[in-house]
Amino acid sequence: MPVPDFILELRRYVGRAELWLPGVTAVVRRAEELLLVRRADNGQWTPVTGIIDPGEQPAVAARREVLEETGVRVEVEHLAWVNAGPSMVHANGDQARYLDHCFSCRYVDGEAHVADDESCDVRWFPVSGLPPMRDIFQERIACALERSTPTRFERH
Protein backbone atom coordinates (compact mmCIF):
# COMPACT_ATOMS: atom_id res chain seq x y z
CA MET A 1 0.00 0.00 0.00
CA PRO A 2 2.07 2.98 -1.21
CA VAL A 3 -0.18 5.76 0.15
CA PRO A 4 -1.97 5.09 3.46
CA ASP A 5 -5.73 5.63 3.49
CA PHE A 6 -5.53 8.42 6.08
CA ILE A 7 -3.27 10.42 3.74
CA LEU A 8 -5.61 9.88 0.79
CA GLU A 9 -8.41 11.26 2.99
CA LEU A 10 -6.29 14.31 3.97
CA ARG A 11 -5.42 14.90 0.32
CA ARG A 12 -9.16 15.33 -0.42
CA TYR A 13 -8.98 18.53 1.65
CA VAL A 14 -5.47 19.85 1.04
CA GLY A 15 -4.80 18.63 -2.49
CA ARG A 16 -1.09 18.41 -3.25
CA ALA A 17 -0.09 20.98 -0.56
CA GLU A 18 2.72 20.07 1.80
CA LEU A 19 1.77 17.69 4.60
CA TRP A 20 3.81 17.32 7.79
CA LEU A 21 4.02 13.56 8.38
CA PRO A 22 5.63 11.34 11.01
CA GLY A 23 7.92 8.72 9.52
CA VAL A 24 10.30 5.94 10.47
CA THR A 25 13.57 4.60 9.16
CA ALA A 26 14.52 1.09 10.29
CA VAL A 27 18.23 0.30 10.06
CA VAL A 28 18.21 -3.50 10.32
CA ARG A 29 21.41 -5.33 11.11
CA ARG A 30 22.23 -9.04 11.10
CA ALA A 31 25.78 -9.50 12.41
CA GLU A 32 27.88 -7.34 10.04
CA GLU A 33 25.16 -6.98 7.39
CA LEU A 34 22.42 -4.42 6.79
CA LEU A 35 19.04 -5.02 5.17
CA LEU A 36 18.29 -2.58 2.34
CA VAL A 37 15.44 -2.18 -0.13
CA ARG A 38 15.59 -0.85 -3.67
CA ARG A 39 12.65 1.52 -4.00
CA ALA A 40 10.26 0.80 -6.86
CA ASP A 41 9.53 4.51 -7.44
CA ASN A 42 13.10 5.73 -8.00
CA GLY A 43 15.37 2.64 -8.01
CA GLN A 44 17.46 3.91 -5.08
CA TRP A 45 18.73 1.73 -2.23
CA THR A 46 17.60 2.76 1.26
CA PRO A 47 16.97 1.30 4.68
CA VAL A 48 13.29 0.45 5.22
CA THR A 49 11.23 3.62 5.60
CA GLY A 50 7.55 4.30 6.12
CA ILE A 51 4.80 6.46 7.53
CA ILE A 52 3.50 6.09 11.07
CA ASP A 53 -0.24 5.40 11.14
CA PRO A 54 -2.45 7.63 13.32
CA GLY A 55 -2.15 6.50 16.95
CA GLU A 56 0.65 4.01 16.18
CA GLN A 57 3.78 4.03 18.30
CA PRO A 58 6.91 4.85 16.23
CA ALA A 59 8.85 1.69 17.21
CA VAL A 60 5.81 -0.44 16.37
CA ALA A 61 5.63 1.28 12.98
CA ALA A 62 9.30 0.48 12.33
CA ARG A 63 8.72 -3.23 13.06
CA ARG A 64 5.55 -3.26 10.94
CA GLU A 65 7.19 -1.55 7.97
CA VAL A 66 10.13 -3.99 7.95
CA LEU A 67 7.79 -6.99 8.03
CA GLU A 68 5.44 -5.56 5.38
CA GLU A 69 8.23 -4.61 2.98
CA THR A 70 10.73 -7.43 3.48
CA GLY A 71 9.13 -10.36 5.32
CA VAL A 72 11.74 -10.00 8.07
CA ARG A 73 10.92 -9.77 11.78
CA VAL A 74 13.05 -7.42 13.86
CA GLU A 75 13.54 -6.22 17.39
CA VAL A 76 13.77 -2.46 17.75
CA GLU A 77 16.79 -1.78 19.94
CA HIS A 78 16.96 2.00 20.23
CA LEU A 79 15.96 5.33 18.78
CA ALA A 80 19.08 6.63 17.06
CA TRP A 81 18.04 9.99 15.57
CA VAL A 82 15.04 12.28 15.26
CA ASN A 83 15.17 14.83 12.47
CA ALA A 84 12.97 16.92 10.22
CA GLY A 85 13.64 16.26 6.58
CA PRO A 86 13.52 18.73 3.72
CA SER A 87 10.40 19.44 1.70
CA MET A 88 9.92 16.91 -1.04
CA VAL A 89 7.65 16.32 -3.98
CA HIS A 90 6.60 12.74 -4.67
CA ALA A 91 6.33 11.35 -8.21
CA ASN A 92 2.55 11.97 -8.17
CA GLY A 93 3.06 15.67 -7.30
CA ASP A 94 2.13 15.40 -3.61
CA GLN A 95 4.29 17.56 -1.34
CA ALA A 96 5.43 16.36 2.07
CA ARG A 97 7.91 16.93 4.86
CA TYR A 98 8.71 14.11 7.28
CA LEU A 99 9.65 14.07 10.94
CA ASP A 100 11.79 10.93 10.84
CA HIS A 101 12.40 8.57 13.76
CA CYS A 102 15.46 6.49 12.88
CA PHE A 103 15.64 3.19 14.77
CA SER A 104 18.46 0.69 15.14
CA CYS A 105 16.91 -2.77 14.71
CA ARG A 106 18.20 -6.32 15.13
CA TYR A 107 17.23 -9.19 12.81
CA VAL A 108 15.10 -11.85 14.54
CA ASP A 109 13.93 -14.16 11.73
CA GLY A 110 12.44 -14.41 8.28
CA GLU A 111 13.75 -14.75 4.74
CA ALA A 112 14.29 -11.32 3.18
CA HIS A 113 12.26 -10.84 0.00
CA VAL A 114 10.21 -8.22 -1.84
CA ALA A 115 6.97 -8.39 0.14
CA ASP A 116 4.99 -5.48 -1.34
CA ASP A 117 4.94 -3.12 -4.32
CA GLU A 118 7.07 -0.41 -2.69
CA SER A 119 10.34 -2.22 -3.45
CA CYS A 120 11.77 -4.00 -6.47
CA ASP A 121 14.65 -5.69 -4.61
CA VAL A 122 15.59 -6.56 -1.01
CA ARG A 123 19.10 -7.62 0.00
CA TRP A 124 21.56 -7.99 2.85
CA PHE A 125 24.75 -5.99 2.29
CA PRO A 126 27.97 -6.07 4.29
CA VAL A 127 28.27 -2.90 6.36
CA SER A 128 31.62 -2.30 4.67
CA GLY A 129 30.14 -2.65 1.17
CA LEU A 130 26.89 -0.70 0.98
CA PRO A 131 25.59 0.43 -2.41
CA PRO A 132 25.49 4.14 -3.30
CA MET A 133 22.62 5.98 -1.62
CA ARG A 134 21.54 9.49 -0.72
CA ASP A 135 23.57 11.23 1.99
CA ILE A 136 20.63 11.39 4.41
CA PHE A 137 20.34 7.58 4.40
CA GLN A 138 24.08 7.14 4.87
CA GLU A 139 23.84 9.50 7.83
CA ARG A 140 20.88 7.62 9.34
CA ILE A 141 22.76 4.32 8.98
CA ALA A 142 25.87 5.76 10.63
CA CYS A 143 23.78 7.13 13.48
CA ALA A 144 21.98 3.80 14.02
CA LEU A 145 25.24 1.85 14.02
CA GLU A 146 26.88 4.19 16.56
CA ARG A 147 25.92 2.44 19.79
CA SER A 148 27.91 4.51 22.25
CA THR A 149 25.98 7.75 21.84
CA PRO A 150 22.49 8.71 23.00
CA THR A 151 19.73 9.57 20.57
CA ARG A 152 20.82 12.35 18.20
CA PHE A 153 18.69 15.49 18.12
CA GLU A 154 19.29 18.50 15.91
CA ARG A 155 20.07 21.56 18.02
CA HIS A 156 20.09 24.34 15.44
Q: How far apart are CA 1 and CA 4, in angstroms?
A: 6
Cβ neighbours of residue 69 closer than 8 Å, sequence gap 6 or more: 37, 48, 50, 115, 116, 118, 119, 122
pLDDT of residue 30 exceeding 80, the answer is yes
pLDDT of residue 89 exceeding 90, the answer is yes
pLDDT digits (tens, 9 = 90+) for 31-62: 999 999 999 988 999 999 999 999 999 999 99
CATH code of 16-147, in short, is: 3.90.79.10
- The answer to whether 62 touches 105, Cβ cutoff 8 Å, is yes
Q: How far apart are CA 104 and CA 30, in angstroms?
A: 11
Beta bridge partners of residue 123, listed in sequence order: 36
pLDDT given for residue 2 in this prediction = 67
